[in-house]
Amino acid sequence: MRNTITRIAIALWLLLAGCAANPVTGENQLVLLPQSMEIEMGRSQYAPGRQMHGGDYVLDPDLAAYVRAVGQRIAAASDRRLPYEFAVLNSSVPNAWALPGGKIAVTRGLLVKLNSEAELAAVLGHEIVHAAARHGARNVERRLLLQGALLAVAIATGGNDYSGLAVGAAGLGAELLNQRYSRGAELEADRYGIVYMVRAGYDPRAAVTLQETFVRLSRSKQPDWLGGLFASHPPSTERMRQNRATVAGLAPAGGEMGRQRYRRQTARLRRRQPAYEDFDKARRALKGGDTAKALSLVNAALEIEPRESRFHTLLGDILSSQGRRREALAAYNRAVRLDPGYFRNYYQRGRLWMKQGDMPQARQDLEKSLALLPTADGSYALGRLLIRQGERRRAVKLFRTAAKSHSPAGRAALRALHIYDLPDHPDRYLDTRLEENQGRFRVIISNPASVALTGLRVRVTRSRKHYFEFTINRVLKPGGRFTVQTDRRVNNKKELYKWHVSVQEAVPANPERILQDVEKEGHMAP
């Protein structure tokens, strides 16, 4: 029945959709997402997307304003009017990305690598084309056609209310930000980005020298580039040649390069660069367990720039790992004061409050962290806290959210679900089936959960009045299976299909030890 509904939904949606000219290339394309939905998708993902990539760079508002001005100058020369926005992210990883609807971001790690305003214009022009030419939206449309599930949601909301799809699109947020564009999309973004540069008055040769630099850096296989810009925008000699050909086919070289202006606008960021290099080294040292080296490096970073909240958060992480909780709390407090809009400051402080037993303060911080960016770590930590406060139902919801992640927190949350939710809803977790054997019902129960179970109450049902039950008091281990031959007769396999088997009750074996294991798994690395 569900497959039939999905097919009907897809058919209806395709009837409502149609071909339209791409606003950048002029080519006819099938359009499933109207512009209003495309814009809402980007709007809903912009804030969490920025949180995922370091949060906004708040230390230099003038730099952010400068990047916005350059971006809007290019956007004004584009072929599609969208509510374009531009942000600078507080990340050392050189990167830039665009969401559907014109929401664009560039990292401080990329800004320090550029040499002119024209190179910045080339980067932003490229991202503007991704948004204007619907490259991200088209990837979503392909996903919709393949899966079909979200289409039914979109139709069910009706009219211009796309709140249902906005929820579904939130699940696509990380994928949209990290998607690898096709070769054709990258070449298209390069070509029209250069066209927009020329229209806006910039020297298009900057796009050529920038791509040459990217190709050279890609050959050096530097990890920060490979994990950032090059992961989603892989450079190539083909792109370099195409850029040269595009520039050669335009008007004679000219336009602004803006080297001196760019150096002035990024001067403060460049002065702070040694501090960020020490900060990145300190993070690696802490991850490697060398807290003394990490502490020395982060203190060196703070000597250069004491107003950077990320440095104070890392200081708190180091001090907390050394058992210096009072000093760690002071560091987290400074981090929150300096940047009250970044989720991780609250998450780390909330965890520390939990260790110190201050559950009201911990809850407040973890709630704030999740409001800024829902994460598996935050959901699991708050779920643990709510269990202690007796709010089991909401805790289970948070564990279910966290369990969708493949992270350590996700694995711990799944075990927590097996403890707190499985006893009430064993049928959600256990696999059951009926067979006919020698004219009698045979019941097979498998346990894919991570906990051993006992006290299984099994019901075999045909209707409310026709059923039978039995209890299994043996221990069903994780990955184990029980096969129970009953004495109830079944005439034939056709009659067998009218019956249904379910587990009504199940009790985790050794719950105290399991809880201890969950608590250990719940100690997430900073």
Residues annotated catalytic, as ranges: 127
> How far is C-alpha 9 from the geometric centre of its chain's CA atoms?
28
Look at residue 214 and give its three-state secondary structure: helix
Name the region of 255 (left: φ>0; alpha: ψ -120 to 50; beta: rest): left
Return the number of other C-beta atoms located less than 10 Å from residue 358's C-beta: 15
| Position 75, amino acid | A
Tokens 């004495």 belong to residue: 487
In the numeric block, which tokens belong to residue 467? 């059923």
**Cα separations (Å) of 417 from 395, 429, 472?**
9, 10, 22
Tell me the C-alpha distance between 423 and 401, whole Å.
Answer: 19
40 within 8 A of 166, measured Cβ to Cβ: yes
Backbone angles phi, psi at 463, to 5 degrees: -155, 180
- Alpha-helical runs (H) found in 322-407: 325-338, 343-355, 359-372, 376-388, 392-402
Tell me the C-alpha distance between 355 and 362, whole Å.
Answer: 9
Q: At what angle do helices 2-16 and 149-157 cross, to 10 degrees?
A: 60
Return the number of other C-beta atoms located less than 10 Å from residue 364's C-beta: 15
Tell me the C-alpha distance between 443 and 429, whole Å.
Answer: 16
Tell me the C-alpha distance between 207 and 202, whole Å.
Answer: 10
